[in-house]
Amino acid sequence: MTLTTVNVALGPRSYDIVIGTGALSATAERLTGIIGKGQPAIIADEKVWGLHKDALLAVTGDVPVITVPSGEASKSFASYERVMEALLAADLGRDGTIIAFGGGVVGDLAGFCAATLKRGCQFVQVPTTLLAQVDSSVGGKTAINSAAGKNLVGAFYQPKLVIIDTDLLKTLPERELKAGYAEVLKYGLLGDEVFFGWLETAYKDILELDPLAVTRAIETSCREKARLVAADEQEASVRALLNLGHTFGHAIEAEAGYGGDVLHGEGVAIGMAMAFRYSTALGRCPGQDTGRVEAHLKSAGMPASLADHPGAKGTAEALLSWMGQDKKNVGGRLKLILARGIGDTYITDDVDPDHLLSFLKQEPGIQPS
């Protein structure tokens, strides 16, 4: 299959996303050129490393490797300290290159290490989950979590290259694949009703990793993200649309803890359905569009409410408290991404906390106060 290239146009920080089967081996010469004479190192998810290390080492040769446990808990201050000390011990300098090999957790952690190691070294993303391939590997958001919430300590720091090899998805567990599909679905919901309509018919092929379907889904998602990032690199305006469902979803994740009870994509799936339901409750989104979103999530075997997920929990007050700590909030005002319909979303900080609390109390699966 021919590889597809999507460019993220950011002037001197521009870079390519290379997508397709065999993309890792096909970009070997390009990756070697980026590394140059500096010291490279790999930061990898330990499970991914066990499954796919030969594919990456065939390209990089023998380089230092630092593995981290799978799961959101690895985006911690403790992991950051351990990985940074290992990078310094490996003598990485500003001309060094960190290669992130894993899902969104590894990409976020490795990117933050790259942003802060000696005030910045090179960084290449090799995402191995569908979620990371369509979302977190693109756009330069890097972060770790804190006790106060998710992704609250981080930096905008762009990679030099993103290599999306769809062959790496073949070992991905079904639950992780569906969690990643939530981020694919997001691009249809936030601004492309035609894409959403295609997903309604093609989702089974995507989840079965049909090469043509999965490549189209990834390419379409990356092109839309690249467009929004190029227009608003540091999320001062339109890039915030990419957070559709995330304010609700991050609250659900935080309340469940970061032990894997609720995967990021699962929280986003519930959060997107909640955003549409809340938009309908405000009289701003047709109920049939919200019903269509819920129906598609359930057809794809994904949760549309807390009641659909055994690990999701929380009172309305607890979720609202987590939402109040969201990094998008400005001046103490809660910022949400809401919908006028499928493919038509908008950013608002005109949210009445009391009204939102009343809405949350009516949500399926919400625990009594």
Q: Does 141 participate in catalysis according to the annotation?
A: yes
149-156/141-146 β-pairing? antiparallel
Distance CA 208, CA 42 (A): 29
Burial class (CB in 10 A: 0-12, 13-18, 19+), 299: exposed
Catalytic residue among 246, 296, 313, 327: 246
Q: Name the region of 97 (left: φ>0; alpha: ψ -120 to 50; beta: rest).
A: beta
| CATH number for region 4-171 | 3.40.50.1970
Catalytic residue among 223, 250, 313, 335: 250
Q: Does 243 participate in catalysis according to the annotation?
A: yes
Q: Does 284 participate in catalysis according to the annotation?
A: no
pLDDT > 70? residue 19: yes
Q: Three-state SS for 230? A: helix
pLDDT > 90? residue 259: no
Q: Where are the domains of the chain?
A: 4-171, 175-361
Residue 165: the pLDDT is 98
Catalytic residue among 176, 219, 224, 235: 235
User: Is there a binding annotation on residue 208?
Assistant: no
Within 10 angstroms of residue 330's Cβ, the number of other Cβ atoms is: 9
**Who contacts 19 (Cβ-Cβ below 8 Å, separation ≥6)?**
3, 4, 5, 6, 133, 164, 166, 215, 218, 219, 222
Residue 263: the pLDDT is 95
Average confidence (pLDDT) over 290-302 = 98
Partners of 122 in the beta sheet? 97
Q: Per CATH, which fold does 175-361 belong to?
A: Dehydroquinate synthase-like, alpha domain (1.20.1090)
pLDDT > 70? residue 1: no
User: Is there a binding annotation on residue 105?
Assistant: yes
User: Is there a binding annotation on residue 128?
Assistant: yes
User: Is there a binding annotation on residue 32?
Assistant: no
User: Is there a binding annotation on residue 120?
Assistant: no
User: Is there a binding annotation on residue 47?
Assistant: no
- 328 — pLDDT class (breaks 50, 70, 90): confident
User: Is there a binding annotation on residue 106?
Assistant: yes
User: Is there a binding annotation on residue 200?
Assistant: no
Whether the Cβ atoms of residue 296 and residue 203 lie closer than 8 Å to each other: yes
Place of tokens 């021919």: 2
Mean of the per-residue pLDDT values of the chain: 96
pLDDT > 80? residue 306: yes
Q: Does 235 participate in catalysis according to the annotation?
A: yes
Residue 111: the pLDDT is 98
Catalytic residue among 151, 160, 183, 216: 183
Q: Three-state SS for 232? A: coil
In this predicted structure, which of 242-251, 295-304, 324-333 has the lowest mean pLDDT?
324-333
Burial class (CB in 10 A: 0-12, 13-18, 19+), 264: buried
User: Is there a binding annotation on residue 268?
Assistant: no
Average confidence (pLDDT) over 172-183 = 97
- 260 — pLDDT class (breaks 50, 70, 90): confident
Element (H, E) at 6: strand 4-8
Q: Does 250 participate in catalysis according to the annotation?
A: yes
CA dihedral sign, ordered 216, 221, 225, 227: positive
Average confidence (pLDDT) over 224-239 = 97
Residue 100: the pLDDT is 98
User: Is there a binding annotation on residue 107?
Assistant: yes
